[in-house]
A and B are shown apart, each in its own frame.
Chain A
């Protein structure tokens, strides 16, 4: 248990008044900038980097940790308040979070997001401290067949996100898969569907698609309605602006499974916060006693993905610190921190330089705590943004969306894509086709395809490989069951209706 000792030592190094001041500044600025859609965590850190560059390394690191968590939280904030996901890991939060906001429960949603993130972050750090080495080795046994099976499981869970109509959900997912094929195919090297536009070589920009379909789609649909004065009712009492005891009770399972699931998925290099948040949401819905509440403002629907995308960071630090492998976007950022301060992460970092590594981990945790302390009191302030009338908020959403999308690559092409997808989002909403399956398929499709084709390379084109490896077989079986079960239930119902009609 010497790791625990190191962790405590790390805390003692990180916790100085100066550092504490800076981490709060980092959290505040991170949230503010993270609120702007399109500015995901890496971009936020890039923007705020000049502030940290003149600080001493330890303080700089802790400030960056604050910025990191702040920007993640900022992303969740816009997901909940404006239905505009700040980054891919907050897409799932929009499903129930925005519904809660519409019902005047933005405060509890925001508060629950912060608390779930905190709980999961704690779990993540503890897991990292106690389980790093054995989990690292386990994670390595995940090869392409297992990745495919995992992502297949994720894709079949689309059925659970589909809402009322399974067909429409599948339609949305297939559309997402189609859009995901655009770009350079990594396995064959061919450029698919780019129509000669080099801007499409890397595929459709995720932020343009997501913000277009969610935010602009929403704006366009609402433009048709007669203008009302206020957007949502925002309660005045402070008590209603924070999560209630009932919310906590409802979310406890969500926070637990979100933490564990997020952590485990985080340890797999290449599987990141997006998959973690989707899976956690789906598991929560599947095992809930009231699955019909999901999609209509269930607080667990916010707690689960928020927990998952936070503990994912802890999990992703395991391959980073034990093998020098950045597991996902969040740790690529972390890798950047470490390199910036002259550290070369690799298998030896953990064992040879514990005095550097543990203060870093401790700093991450302190950032997490600072986030909670700072943002909970500010929840009423954020929630009161919704007091503005439609005619202020919607132009603001459009403005922020365009700026956010443009800022990714400095390209007007992306902005036109944004508008195009806004129209798509509008059409989907009119036709009652759910948007989350499209995004899910868009994000997971390429991973699934790549893993599948890699598996075939490994097995020299034999499909056996999926079934001879136990873990892959197990995951695939669960996926098939998940896919078939609801359809089976519907078939039975259909037959019953037919029988009733005949009678």
Chain B
């Protein structure tokens, strides 16, 4: 029984080693002692240098998606840029707290109440999910908004083979035909914006929800659906290949990715109150004010760097920095719009 026993013990050891590696892979860095930041970085010349070691030691970045998901790549890029640009001393690890469309990550943040060295990169789903959960679910009002970073503006596209040249054509056709929108889950931003458009124009679209972007494109190109409303960068390749036509930008200003495309207000006479996808940073409940301001300052500096600008452009983000107060009020405004739409949809618990 010697051979198998050895094999078994080796397997167990390997398993434990891999589990340990898995831990570090998830958190991004072996958990060794963080170097104290003696030369504390002042947020700007006017303020006295503070001791910010408490804010940066053992810093944890939280995201609600899995490795490779949208926020995960953003968070990792941020950690890298902060390190490369000297705004951080180590590569901050990213914790993927998945589950419940953000609810798990929000609950996790609530547990870190009062900590200055945790923040999460979030999207509007942190507004929608608590609305549908109701009850004791953690909301952004429980947490501490730190900064708004970027906007992702959506555009409406149709298949290149479709007969609609302008958005107005599409809306006119909608009154007689059953036009269908392929999008994400009910209550996701593309659906919300589509509903706002429908309300303003007095038409109705059918809605097909697909969890994955790939399936939506397949439905569009295969003729099962007539339009999609997504972030502009998702369509760059398809537009170049002549597969889709971009009809309108769902934002107040034109989309820098497709500067020739009119906004909804320009293409029609409508001005629906679109909910723009924004990515921002938020901290745990009762985060110390000095920490909030410190991090807001760091992010402001980060967004001024070359590395960040390159990343922004590659990702199709529109810079839209806002400090803690701006971020908080924008979140409140979006939450109100979402609440209205969700009540109409019957999604509020």
Contacts and interface: CB of A to CB of B under 8 A. Distances in A.
A346 B237 CA distance: 6
Contact of B208 (A49, A139, A410, A457): A457
Contacts of B99: 198-199, 201-202, 409, 411
B307 to A, nearest CB: 15
B104 A409 contact: yes
B18 A323 contact: no
A188 interface: yes
B243 to A, nearest CB: 6
Interface in A16-45: 32-33, 36, 42
Interface in A208-254: none
A460 interface: yes
A144 B185 contact: no
Contacts of A42: 66-68
Interface stretch (B7-15, B251-259, B320-328): B7-15
B15 A189 contact: no
A460 B222 contact: no
B209 A187 contact: yes
A269 B215 contact: yes
A63 to B, nearest CB: 15
A327 B24 CA distance: 30
A222 B137 CA distance: 42
B187 A348 contact: no
- Pick the most buried of B129, B133, B215: most chain A CB atoms within 10 A of its CB: B215
Interface string B1-24: 101100110011011001101101
Contacts of B241: 346-348
A392 B8 contact: yes
Nearest to A389: B1
B217 interface: yes
A48 B238 CA distance: 32
Interface stretch (A79-87, A103-111, A126-134, A380-388): A380-388
A493 interface: no
B335 interface: no
A47 interface: yes
Contact of B186 (A143, A189, A199): A189
Contacts of B18: 32-33, 36, 47
A3 interface: no
Contacts of A269: 212, 214-215, 218
Q: Which of A188, A327, A385, A457 has its CB near the most chain B CB atoms (within 10 A)? A: A457
B214 A325 contact: yes
Contacts of A396: 8, 12
Nearest to A331: B214
Q: Which of B180, B217, B236 is packed against the most chain A CB atoms within 10 Å?
A: B217
Interface in A340-392: 344-349, 381, 384-385, 387-388, 392
Contacts of B133: 191, 198, 201
**Which of B22, B97, B132, B223 lies at the interface centre, i.e. has the most chain A CB atoms within 10 A of its CB?**
B22
Given A336-B68, A348-B240, A384-B4, A140 B218 contact: yes
Which size class do A's interface residues fall under? 35 or more
- Most A CB contacts (10 A, CB to CB) among B24, B98, B224, B349 go to B224
A319 B132 contact: no
Contacts of B15: 36, 400, 403
A454 B8 contact: no
B98 A409 contact: yes
B7 A385 contact: yes
B147 interface: no
B206 interface: yes
A184 interface: yes
A140 B3 contact: no
A468 interface: no
A144 B101 contact: no
B199 to A, nearest CB: 17
Interface residues of B, number: 63
A142 interface: yes
Contacts of A140: 218, 221-223
Contacts of B213: 325
B186 A198 contact: no
B207 interface: yes
A347 B26 CA distance: 32
B281 interface: no
B3 to A, nearest CB: 7
B210 interface: yes
Contact of B100 (A46, A202, A450): A202
Contact of A188 (B12, B104, B186): B186
Given A143-B219, A348-B241, A403 B98 contact: no
B7 A198 contact: no
B40 interface: no
A46 B69 CA distance: 12
Interface in B189-243: 206-215, 217-219, 221-224, 236-238, 240-241, 243
A144 B206 CA distance: 14
Contacts of A388: 4, 8
B77 interface: no
Contacts of A198: 99-100, 103-104, 107, 129, 133, 137
Contacts of B222: 140-143
Given A46-B67, A184-B185, A346-B237, A190 B214 contact: no
Interface string A254-273: 00000000000000011000
Nearest to A50: B25
Contacts of B174: none
A375 B137 CA distance: 49
B298 interface: no
Given A326-B214, A348-B237, A190 B347 contact: yes
13 contacts: A32-B18, A36-B15, A48-B25, A139-B218, A141-B222, A186-B209, A201-B133, A324-B238, A344-B236, A384-B4, A392-B8, A400-B15, A411-B104
Interface of A: 32-33, 36, 42, 46-50, 139-144, 184, 186-191, 196, 198-202, 269-270, 319, 323-327, 332, 336, 344-349, 381, 384-385, 387-388, 392, 396, 400, 403, 407, 409-411, 450, 454, 457-458, 460
Given A198-B107, A458-B180, 18 more contacts: A47-B22, A47-B25, A48-B25, A141-B222, A142-B222, A143-B219, A189-B345, A189-B347, A202-B99, A269-B218, A270-B215, A324-B238, A346-B237, A346-B238, A348-B237, A348-B241, A450-B209, A460-B206
Interface of B: 1, 3-4, 7-8, 11-12, 14-15, 18-19, 21-22, 24-26, 66-68, 97-101, 103-104, 107, 129, 132-133, 135, 137, 178, 180, 185-187, 206-215, 217-219, 221-224, 236-238, 240-241, 243, 345, 347, 349
Closest 8 CB pairs of A and B: A346-B237, A189-B186, A325-B214, A198-B103, A198-B100, A143-B224, A347-B241, A140-B222
